[in-house]
Amino acid sequence: MESQSHKAHRPAQSGAKAEKKSAKAKGKEKQHGFNEKAFAPRSGRRAERQGRRTAERDQTRLHVPLVDRTPDDQPPPTVVAIVGPPGVGKTTLMKSLIRRYTKQTLNQIQGPVTVVSGKKKRITFLECNNDLNSMIDVAKVADLVLLMIDGSYGFEMETFEFLNILQSHGFPKVIGVLTHLDLIKKAATLRATKKALKKRFWTEIYQGAKLFYLSGVLNGRYPDTEILNLSRFISVMKFRPLVFRNSHPYLLADRFEDLTPREEVRASKGKCDRTVTLYGYLRGTNYRLGTKVHIPGVGDLDVKSVQILGDPCPLPDAESEKRRKLSEKKKLLIHAPMSDVGGVIYDKDAVYINVPGNFTKGGMENPGEGEKMVLDLQDVGSTLEDVVAKSQIRLFGSSSRPLSVQAEAGPSRLGSDASEQSDSEEEEDDGDEDEDDDEALSGEEDEEFGSEDGFSDEELDVPDDEATLGDHGRSAPRTVRRSMHGLSTSSGKRGEVDYAESDSDLGGEDDDDPGPSRRFVRFDDEDPVDVASDEEGEEQDEDVPQWKLNLSERAQAAFRESSRSRRRKDWTKLIYNSSASPESILGVDGSGDTSSSGVPRMDDDDFFTVKSSAPVKAEEDLDRTKEPVNADELKQWEDEELLDSIRHLFITGTPSQSAEGVDSNGEPYEFDEEGLQDGDGEDMGDENGEGKPSLNKDADALAAKKAELKRKFDEQYDEPDSAKADFYTEAKEAMARQQQLNRAEFEGVEDPEARALLEGYRPGSYVRLELSSVPAEMVENFDPRYPIVVGGLLPAEERFGYVQVRIKRHRWFAKTLKTNDPLILSLGWRRFQTVPIYSLDDHSIRMRMLKYTPEHMHCYATFYGPAALPNTGFCAFNALSRDSPGFRVSATGVVLDIDRSTKIVKKIKLTGVPFKIFKNTAFIKDMFTSALEVAKFEGANIRTVSGIRGQVKKALPKPDGAFRAAFEDKILMSDIVFLRAWYSIQPRKFYNPVTSLLLSDKEQWQGMRLTGQVRREQGLKAPTNVNSIYKPVERPARRFNPLKVPKKLQAALPYASKPKLMKPQHRATYMQKRAVIMEPEEKKAMALLQQVRALRKDQVVRRREKKEEKRAEHRKKIEKEEAKKDEKEKERRKEYMRAAGMKSKREAEMEGGGRSGKRRKT
């Protein structure tokens, strides 16, 4: 039986079974993918619900489309701020992150640190110290905040304060970082803490906000894997533009230099206003020249100049672009000038290499002879010239006045200064022309500059430069230098022009065309155009008396000629770079004066300008919009040909031209130029003979035409697609189109200065801002740990006015806010102290002043200060110092309105007393002081205390300020009359910027204090007003006269109204006078009745007693039951506690057991 072979199974190859199987196999294959049945709703209702939910979720995804002004190609580094209370591990985290990105460990980090984090990404790390001012500034510039929280402690007040500040300034992205978690030993506690902190964090930010856990510190850094994870989260973070930052240019300064001449500083003992430069990446919108900036903590400043510098921390360029990852070399890039790493600093015209540990003054043990000499040279207080000037030479011993050389010394020094200045500028201009030369030069400079700090012997290598310069000795090492070696080369280069010296003396010019021929306007690409001659030609035209001869030909010729000459004009240069009057630019000087005035002068052309006397005109030139009608010009239109020549500008014009010209796409409109020149509308087809260029042109035109047709076709037939786009996508597309245009429009402008004039300095470029008249304290008390933010101001924000805001006291702030108490606001870029007045809208009739902010409600506040755009958020503080107890954010709100006047009123009650009363009329005094005042209040409503209403009628002549008033009833002499009025109040014009950066101790800024505070600090008592002292109130009893109704009236009154007051009865009444003696029968009856009553009483008493007994019994019973219940409850609780105790004990044991178990296992 073993060997019996079974017939092998042959699966059916065809037929129903095979088909079924194949179908099944297919189905199985399908199951690997998406099974649509699995998620199909079972019922229609459910399907509807699901559909609705997805639709709703889709809607939550949408946000108001906002234009992002940061460029995509070269974005500025993202600012990642590390914020948290002291000792939480901020510096450690920063070090770890920098190590992660650059493989370098920085020992001391100060100021912002920029690193390259990806192929298209850079990050600026910024550590925020615990000062409230710094927190405010950081909140305004940070794109991402790493909010550090001590896990072992929990949230601290600063964290919440910072979150509130963030919220009122736009709320950038926040990642929470929990540290010190290794201090929590128990796993359960750790878990519980994490959960609790996460919950709180989520309620503060949003549900699902990212919270990171860092376990412990290894080698002074956080564990590498955790930092790697954190860096990944940072790199994938998406940023939504914040409205305020998207409308302001700003810069986070990462370098700070003082440019003030040392001499000036020395002379003023360091008190003079400084000129400083700040370096950093521009962010936000384009920075326009002339925009004022505000540095929080310093104030509003003017920017003297802006230079775009080479990127100190450039993104990897194209050659490394091919790789997917950042190359290791690029990873080493780090830019942190304030921390002094990297060592190389590129300035406007120089490169500084910092060689650490080289030389410090006074740090030498025993200097050699040469070094000593150099050191002595450094210590010289005044220049040689000064010494010479001061030294007195007497020719003879008997001379009374010494010889003076001051007259000489002054100008020569000035001249040399000026030449230095202009030379450096010239060199900068020439830079692009002879780059090689320049590079060599800058190399020299570098060495030289290095040597000035380092005092190596290289100084001797460049003696010729020194000689030409005549440089003076310096008392202090220079921090920032400008080039001054250009003199020899530049003069050599300018050898062709003889007057180079004088040219440089002019100073401050940007000469593109220093050519000798002054009469011509010269442009880069064209022949010199003599504008004057052009104009002369026109004048000749006008002069010809017989204008009718060959009118049409000449008109056309003139038209062509003029258009050609116009075309040649470089309008940008003529308008912006020349000082020619508009008339001369156009060549339409009405008065035919000499050609010299017709020549457009470049502003640097004329050294001597002849002041042309204004031509006295018979008719004065009005500021008119309509140009005066030129009769001759209009006469031309009598010519038929000319009339026909503009036919192509109408839709009825020749079809070929219209096809060529009309372009709905917004592409430049094209005339058929050949057609015009020939004077008739010929087609372009017959120009093939002209050769290749025209052929090419034809092909291009054809291609363009085709593309156009295709686009039109698409537009017509692909309608469904475009129609489907909703508002959101449409808006986004429009934005993208506009962005594209923005990028493309100024791409071709090569000259960076011209481009800056057109569109400003783009965000993402590394710039150097030169600020003038900066307070000396900023330089002297500079501390890199405090961020320097440079915020650009919009024109509206430079102005001052009354700002109305909607404000709400913070619910965690302990006190209420009082009108006219100083408040520190952080609004826009600024931090300032001001005095607000709170108000509420009173039935839309008036703004009524409030003494205090309401609880749990918004109110208005109006203060004097710099304007901010409506809808800007702010937060307010009562004090910024660390020692102010409790929560420091006192209020938050938003700007509503800016105005130059306010309409806040408060209630005022004027009181007066009557001094004479007629029927309904009374004379009132003591309310006003003069008849004039009364006149102002005529017709006003008044009222007595008892509620009788009346009106002011007219002033009385006799007591000043008394008036006649009419009431609805007769008032009493004892009545007080009052007039309710509204008194308008203005907020005090008090604005005090928080100048914390100017202080040596930056946390101790103190603004205006309250009177009470001042008194307390000075130990003064509040002065008492005599009238405010409480005196014992004496109220004499008021006596009222009895009401007397005249007899006649009494008689006429009905009985009910008659006065019924009577005297008490003196005599005994009839009944009182009589004694009662009872009959025996009656006596008996009375006795019986009394007995019955006594019985009844007794019965009632007994019944009550019985009831009381029963009640007592019942009470006892209830008490017993209660006791039983209590007992039971006690038992139950005991049982429960016992169980719980057992459980916890068991758990503890389990833990211990687990460990021991593990131990046993190993």
Partner 1 sequence: MAQTPTILQFSGHQYLRHRLVLSILSGKPVRIDKIRSDDKNPGLRDYEVSLLRLLERVTNGTIIEISVTGTAILLKPGIIAGGSVVHDCPLSRSVGYFLEPIVMLAPFAKKPLQLTLRGITTDDNDLSVDIIRTVTLPHMQLFGVSEGLELRIKKRGSPPQGGGEVQFLCPIVRQVKTINFVDPGKVKRIRGISHAVRVNPQFSNRMIEASRSVLNRYIPDIYLYSDVYKGEDSGKSPGYALTLLSESTTGAMHCAEAISQPGVPPEDIALQASRALLTEIKRGGCIDRQHQVLVLLMMVLGSEDVGRCRLGEPTTRTIQFLRDVKETFGTAFKIAPADPSDQNTPDLLFSCYGVGYINANRSLA
Name residues contacting partner 1, limited to 736-795 (CB under 8 A). 738-739, 741-742, 745-746, 749, 757-760, 773, 775, 794-795
Q: What's the closest the beta carbon of residue 181 comes to partner 1, in angstroms?
A: 45
Q: Which of 659, 662, 1014, 1100 binds partner 1 (CB under 8 A)?
A: 662
Q: What residue type is 1031 in one-letter code? A: K
Q: What's the closest the beta carbon of residue 550 comes to partner 1, in angstroms?
A: 20
Q: For helices 531-543 and 551-568, give the axis angle rounded to 10 degrees.
A: 160
Q: Which of 78, 291, 422, 819 binds partner 1 (CB under 8 A)?
A: 291
CB-CB neighbours of 1096 under 10 Å: 10
Q: What's the closest the beta carbon of residue 614 comes to partner 1, in angstroms?
A: 6
| CA 380/CA 519 separation, integer angstroms | 52
Q: What's the closest the beta carbon of residue 604 comes to partner 1, in angstroms?
A: 17
The first and second tokens of residue 954, run together, are: 């007219």
Does residue 45 interact with partner 1 by CB under 8 A?
no
Question: Could you write out the DSSP letters of every residue in 52-97?
Answer: HHHHHHHHHH--------S-SSSPPPEEEEEE-STTSSHHHHHHHH
Strand, coil or helix: 985 = strand
Q: What's the closest the beta carbon of residue 669 comes to partner 1, in angstroms?
A: 6
Strand, coil or helix: 475 = coil
Q: What's the closest the beta carbon of residue 749 comes to partner 1, in angstroms?
A: 7
Q: What kind and span of H or E run contains 876?
A: strand 873-877
Q: What's the closest the beta carbon of residue 462 comes to partner 1, in angstroms?
A: 40
SS (H, E, C) 1071-1118: HHHCCCCCCHHHHHHHHHHHHHHHHHHHHHHHHHHHHHHHHHHHHHHH
The first and second tokens of residue 551, run together, are: 């009118």
| CA 149/CA 193 separation, integer angstroms | 12
DSSP-derived letter for residue 307 is E
Q: What's the closest the beta carbon of residue 301 comes to partner 1, in angstroms?
A: 6
CB-CB neighbours of 533 under 10 Å: 13
Strands (E), 103-186: 113-118, 121-127, 144-150, 173-179
Site for partner 1 in 852-881 (CB under 8 A): 860, 867, 869-871
DSSP-derived letter for residue 614 is P
845 touches 815 (CB < 8 A): no
Does residue 524 interact with partner 1 by CB under 8 A?
no
Does residue 302 interact with partner 1 by CB under 8 A?
yes
Q: What's the closest the beta carbon of residue 166 comes to partner 1, in angstroms?
A: 22
Site for partner 1 in 968-1027 (CB under 8 A): 993
Query: Which residue, 286 or 442, has its beta carbon nearer to partner 1?
Result: 286
830 touches 294 (CB < 8 A): yes
Query: Which residue, 29 or 525, has its beta carbon nearer to partner 1?
Result: 525
Q: What's the closest the beta carbon of residue 543 comes to partner 1, in angstroms?
A: 21
Query: Which residue, 596 or 871, has its beta carbon nearer to partner 1?
Result: 871
Site for partner 1 in 416-445 (CB under 8 A): none
Query: Which residue, 84 or 296, has its beta carbon nearer to partner 1?
Result: 296
**Binding segment toward partner 1, per CB under 8 A, in 892-900, 937-945, 1039-1047, 1065-1073:** 892-900
Query: Which residue, 477 or 628, has its beta carbon nearer to partner 1?
Result: 628
Instruction: Bin 342: left if φ > 0, else alpha if -120 < ψ < 50, else beta.
Output: left
Site for partner 1 in 676-705 (CB under 8 A): 676-677
Q: What kind and span of H or E run contains 278?
A: strand 274-284
Does residue 406 interact with partner 1 by CB under 8 A?
no
**The residue count for the chain:** 1162
Site for partner 1 in 556-595 (CB under 8 A): 560, 562-564, 566-567, 571-572, 575-576, 582-583, 585-586, 588
Site for partner 1 in 62-121 (CB under 8 A): 67, 69
Q: What's the closest the beta carbon of residue 580 comes to partner 1, in angstroms?
A: 9
Does residue 896 interact with partner 1 by CB under 8 A?
yes
Does residue 658 interact with partner 1 by CB under 8 A?
yes
Query: Which residue, 341 or 867, has its beta carbon nearer to partner 1?
Result: 867
Site for partner 1 in 443-472 (CB under 8 A): none
Residue 352's closest CA among 337, 373, 332?
337
Query: Which residue, 894 or 999, has its beta carbon nearer to partner 1?
Result: 894
Q: What's the closest the beta carbon of residue 1016 comes to partner 1, in angstroms?
A: 30
Q: Which of 118, 170, 514, 801 binds partner 1 (CB under 8 A)?
A: 801
**Binding segment toward partner 1, per CB under 8 A, in 320-328, 367-375, 799-807, 954-962:** 799-807
Does residue 796 interact with partner 1 by CB under 8 A?
yes
Q: Which of 264, 510, 751, 798 binds partner 1 (CB under 8 A)?
A: 798
Does residue 624 interact with partner 1 by CB under 8 A?
yes
Residue at token pair 């808006």: 731
57 touches 131 (CB < 8 A): no
Query: Which residue, 763 or 784, has its beta carbon nearer to partner 1?
Result: 763
Site for partner 1 in 898-927 (CB under 8 A): 898-901
CB-CB neighbours of 242 under 10 Å: 16
Q: What's the closest the beta carbon of residue 34 comes to partner 1, in angstroms?
A: 44
Does residue 669 interact with partner 1 by CB under 8 A?
yes
Q: What's the closest the beta carbon of residue 825 comes to partner 1, in angstroms?
A: 17
Q: Which of 525, 673, 750, 883 binds partner 1 (CB under 8 A)?
A: 673
Q: What number of chain residues touch partner 1 (CB under 8 A)?
A: 102
Question: Could you write out the DSSP letters of every residue in 345-374?
Answer: EE-SS-EEE--TTS--TT--SS--HHHHHH
Q: What residue type is 1118 in one-letter code? A: I
Query: Which residue, 409 or 585, has its beta carbon nearer to partner 1?
Result: 585
Query: Which residue, 67 or 272, has its beta carbon nearer to partner 1?
Result: 67
821 touches 768 (CB < 8 A): no
Does residue 1029 interact with partner 1 by CB under 8 A?
no
Query: Which residue, 812 or 990, has its beta carbon nearer to partner 1?
Result: 990
CB-CB neighbours of 889 under 10 Å: 24
Query: Which residue, 793 or 965, has its beta carbon nearer to partner 1?
Result: 793
CB-CB neighbours of 1011 under 10 Å: 10
Query: Which residue, 444 or 759, has its beta carbon nearer to partner 1?
Result: 759
Does residue 548 interact with partner 1 by CB under 8 A?
no
Looking only at the bridges linking them, the beta strands covering 963-967 and 921-925 are antiparallel
Q: What's the closest the beta carbon of residue 260 comes to partner 1, in angstroms?
A: 17
Q: What's the closest the beta carbon of residue 344 comes to partner 1, in angstroms?
A: 33
Q: Which of 607, 637, 918, 983 binds partner 1 (CB under 8 A)?
A: 637
18 touches 12 (CB < 8 A): yes
DSSP-derived letter for residue 930 is S
| Contact code string over 593-622 relative to partner 1, x by CB under 8 A | ---------------------x-----xxx
Q: How far is CA 210 from CA 88, 154, 558, in A?
A: 18, 17, 73
Q: How far is CA 245 from CA 240, 494, 510, 890, 1062, in A?
A: 11, 47, 34, 24, 89
Query: Which residue, 300 or 512, has its beta carbon nearer to partner 1?
Result: 300
Q: What's the closest the beta carbon of residue 1007 comes to partner 1, in angstroms?
A: 15
Q: What's the closest the beta carbon of residue 885 comes to partner 1, in angstroms?
A: 32
Backbone φ and ψ of 6, nearest 5°: -85, 150
The first and second tokens of residue 804, run together, are: 């109305």
| CA 340/CA 344 separation, integer angstroms | 9
